[in-house]
């Protein structure tokens, strides 16, 4: 069974477990959703807002020899714009060694989403990256496209990072 290694991916616990690496404009906000499946999402402002978690895989229960075998790492994230304003979405996920040096990175081009954009899933699988994996850095966020005061920027929720357990 795969377990999401990211904590608090919907904002149910405020910003616990997240480092706010950029908190511009009117800052990050957490807003409730009308969806029964997802209670809340994170919303960005008119200046860049980014937040990050660094997952310690050894503290999460993985043994070094298994991590050195290069298990598949799957990353998922959901983003959308608001009905009344567009947004720019950013994502950077890096696999890191014991010294937090970068082994591999997934950083797609920024996505500009017009107002009223549907929820969109981005997914990536890391494979063939070699030995040394010990940490995973997950950072995402964005901003709005109209420079409106308030939190009219990109919305993110349901983020996940999974690594299969040792067989």
* pLDDT tens digits, 83-120: 999 999 999 999 999 999 999 999 999 999 999 999 99
The pLDDT, as a whole number, for residue 1 is 81
Q: For position 33, what pLDDT does the model report?
A: 80
pLDDT at 166: 82
The verdict on residue 9 lying in a domain is no
Task: Give the residue-averaged pLDDT of 14-21.
Answer: 97
What is the share, in percent, of the chain residues with pLDDT greater than 90? 91
Sign of CA dihedral 87, 149, 10, 140: positive
pLDDT at 71: 97
The whole-number pLDDT of residue 34 equals: 73
Range of the domain at 118: 19-162
Q: Burial-class residue 48 by CB neighbours within 10 Å (0-12, 13-18, 19+).
A: middle
pLDDT digits (tens, 9 = 90+) for 23-48: 999 999 999 887 766 779 999 999 99
Asked whether residue 2 is domain-assigned, the answer is: no
Residue 62 falls within a domain, yes or no?
yes
Q: Work out the mean pLDDT of the chain and round it to a whole number.
A: 95
In a domain, 68, yes or no: yes
CATH code: domain of residue 82? 2.60.120.260
In the chain, how many domains are there? 1
Return d(Cα 69, Cα 132) in angstroms, integer: 9
pLDDT at position 167 over 80: no
Residue 10 lies in a domain: no
């Amino acid at each position: 069974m795969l377990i999401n290694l990211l904590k608090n991916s919907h904002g149910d616990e405020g910003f616990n477990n997240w480092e706010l690496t950029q908190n511009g404009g009117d800052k990050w906000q957490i807003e409730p959703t009308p969806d029964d499946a997802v209670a809340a999402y994170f919303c960005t402002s008119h200046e860049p807002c980014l937040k990050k978690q660094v997952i310690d895989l050894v503290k999460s229960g993985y043994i070094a020899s298994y991590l050195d075998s290069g298990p598949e790492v799957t990353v998922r994230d959901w983003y959308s714009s608001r009905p009344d304003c567009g947004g720019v979405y950013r994502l950077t996920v890096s696999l890191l060694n014991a010294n937090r040096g970068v082994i591999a990175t997934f950083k797609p081009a920024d996505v500009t989403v017009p107002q009223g954009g549907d929820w969109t899933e981005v997914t990536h699988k890391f494979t063939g990256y070699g030995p040394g994996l010990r940490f995973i850095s997950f950072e995402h966020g964005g901003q709005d496209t109209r420079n409106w005061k308030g939190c009219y920027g990109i919305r993110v929720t349901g983020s996940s990072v999974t690594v299969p357990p040792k067989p």
